[in-house]
Chain A
Amino acid sequence: MKLTHVFNLAIICILALASVEAYSSNNAVKANIETTKPKIIALAPHIVEMLFDIGAGEQIIATTEYADYPLAAQKIPRIGSSMRIQLERVIELQPDVIIAWESGSPSDDLARLKQLGFKIVYSQPDSFAEVAQELRLFGKLSGHSEQAERVANKFLIDLAEIKKQYGQKKPLTGFYEVWSRPLTTIAQDSWPQQFLEICSIKNPFETAKTSYPQVNIEQVLQHSIDIIIQPLSKKQQGGDEYNWKQWSILPAVKHQQYIILDADIVHRMTTRSLVALNDLCQQAEKSRAYYHQNSSTH
């Protein structure tokens, strides 16, 4: 009997020791993951912004010019621009992963870095849905999957809300002015086109052959433009926008229906783009109300 007790006691002790060992080793693994979060080089402003969104901002050891949001991003060392990367600095910093912008980062430098053995992951969010996908991808890469999942889900919920609110509104015809000299607009496959679709704004140049076609004012005058959308960067000085005043034949000019957007937000593929989307939809809605009121008074 005693022998059985001793035997049971021994087994309990062994199991307890094993579980303590397993617990501590499990903790050690967790601690190891925590302490060895991968060092990241982010080669575009939108990548930096998304990494900060998911809580991986501190893991960014270098970036390129124009990564200015959030404020903490401005302190990250710069190792080049969209034109050229300083390969020596990358080698010196020894990142665990380099996240590059597929169409915007210098492809020859990336090919060289890949050849030198660095891990390169590409980012190319061309739609809102892809922003959410990339948030999740960056979460996996940086060890912040849970937070990334939360941010991506919230982003998609907010997007669905805006779509629901403005997607079925009466269409307005809008001209999106990317640049004034030469006068350039957007078409299908361009990033801002989805903004117009969600806000029920018809783009007369949607089917143009290039994503950002240059257009002649004569072509614009062929359409009854209800609103003119002018995204302007904070760095752009006043007067950069096209001078529409002389074309009062256009309803938008006649009724002063201009929508000014923050180009630094609307043209950057991040979660902040929903702020710009909401802003555009709200301003378009005001124009709709204006035209509705105007037509009912006549």
Chain B
Amino acid sequence: MNANLGNILRSVSAIKSKNSWVFSGLIIFTFLSIIMSITFGPANITGDDILQCVMYECMSPIHDMVIWQIRIPRVLVGLVAGMGLACAGAILQNVTRNPLADPYLFGIISGAGLGATIATFAFNDQQSLALPLAAFLGALFSVVIVFGIATLLRNMNHLLLTGVAVSFMLGSISHFILYLGDPFATNRVIFWLMGSLARVEMFHFYLIGAIVLITLLTIFALHRQIDALLLGDESAASLGVNIDKLRLILLALCAAVTATIVAYCGGIGFVGLMIPHIVRQLVGVTTMPLIIGSALVGGCFLVWVDVAARSAFSNVEIPIGIITSAIGSIFFLAIMYRTRKTG
């Protein structure tokens, strides 16, 4: 008995020691990613120019504008958006105990798309303000419908299926409006849904960063209850966890984070589904290491994907959602293949 306990304690301490190395590496990589990604972009600005700008004063007003108003906001928003999407995915997968759970399965992207479509036609002159606001409201609308129907069915396991159904419903409304409208507006909405960090400002970093921070703090406070959910609803209830209340809080947080990110960055697919699976391979399934790991890997992933989006071609920018889905799907299949081989 004592020998068994000793073995378990030794394994736990080995995992903790391994995780501390992983986290140290990830934190260093995150800082390096932030610094290095600022040096990439279509404008001809050298590393020395950037150093001069950040440490002292910019050599020219052009450098000042490019670095402080374009690149640094992009890198920072990429970081917090990646963190938010990856964390939302990790929470959803743990809370629903469904490995396919993804923030977009609530119909958030279809809701945001419907909002963006309506804004494109109804507020042609105030696009920059109306579009993100309408997209946010559309995303929230879809979440409320999904939660409402799932509650009505008195079965939270049907949440994802309800999300798929609502997603198709809202998508069809958007497509009908787009069909009736101006073809240029249709293009605009479709391109918007492909996702981009080109339009972000520092304000978006503060807003998305604040919501992601609130989400992380809430998860840190509730991580033991979330871990209990991994054992199954009955086991969690027997440990004194109010399952319905916990689920509602966590799902509402995921919805708020995702809706805010979609409103300002468009549709960035696959991050919420893929990153938690990668991180589980590195640090295990328990909530605290999974969430911290997902935040760091998700943030770095989106920062580098955005670097590729703005630097891969000299004269055009690639929508970020295309790259995340392309890289994500290949990487994801590779991981599944590796897991199958080793498993």
Contacts and interface: CB of A to CB of B under 8 A. Distances in A.
Contact of B69 (A107, A111, A116, A209): A116
B175 interface: no
Interface stretch (B37-45, B50-58, B326-334): B37-45
Contact of A84 (B131, B201, B317): B317
Interface string A200-227: 0000000001111010000000000000
Nearest to B120: A107
A91 B70 contact: yes
Contacts of A78: 315-316
A87 B198 contact: yes
Contact of B41 (A65, A80, A88, A108): A88
Contact of B71 (A80, A88, A107): A88
Instruction: Classify the interface of chain B: helix, strand, loop or mixed.
Output: helix
A18 interface: no
Instruction: Classify the interface of chain A: helix, strand, loop or mixed.
Output: loop
Interface string B180-205: 11111101100110001011010000
A109 to B, nearest CB: 7
A34 interface: no
A91 B198 CA distance: 14
Interface string B40-79: 0111100000000000000000100110011100000000
B316 A89 contact: no
A130 B133 CA distance: 34
A84 B313 CA distance: 13
Contacts of B44: 92
A103 B184 contact: yes
B42 A84 contact: no
B43 A84 contact: no
A108 B187 contact: no
A87 B192 CA distance: 16
A109 B310 CA distance: 14
Interface in A97-112: 103-104, 106-109, 111-112
B198 A81 contact: no
B188 A111 contact: no
B127 interface: yes
A214 B183 CA distance: 12
A83 interface: yes
Contacts of A188: none
A108 B199 contact: yes
A31 B62 CA distance: 28
Contact of A83 (B42, B128, B191): B191
A243 to B, nearest CB: 24
B65 A81 contact: no
Contacts of B182: 103, 211
Contacts of A91: 43, 62, 65-66, 70
B178 to A, nearest CB: 10
Nearest to B65: A91
Nearest to A211: B182
A108 B127 contact: yes
Contact of A210 (B181, B198, B317): B181
B179 A84 contact: no
Interface string B296-335: 0000000000000010000111010000000000000000
A196 to B, nearest CB: 19
B324 to A, nearest CB: 16
Nearest to A92: B43
Contacts of B69: 116
A88 B66 contact: yes
Nearest to B183: A212
A92 B64 CA distance: 11
A170 B54 CA distance: 72
B128 A92 contact: no
Contacts of B65: 91, 116
Contacts of A210: 179-181
B315 A104 contact: no
Nearest to A112: B199
A94 interface: yes
17 contacts: A65-B316, A78-B316, A81-B316, A84-B316, A86-B310, A88-B71, A89-B42, A92-B43, A92-B44, A92-B66, A103-B184, A103-B185, A108-B128, A108-B192, A108-B199, A112-B198, A116-B69
Interface of A: 65, 77-84, 86-89, 91-92, 94, 103-104, 106-109, 111-112, 116, 209-212, 214
Given A86-B42, A88-B310, A108-B199, 14 more contacts: A82-B187, A83-B191, A84-B191, A86-B317, A88-B41, A88-B66, A89-B42, A91-B62, A103-B184, A107-B128, A108-B127, A111-B127, A111-B128, A210-B180
User: Which 6 A-B residue pairings sit nearest by Cβ, starting from the closest?
Assistant: A111-B128, A88-B43, A78-B315, A103-B184, A107-B127, A108-B199
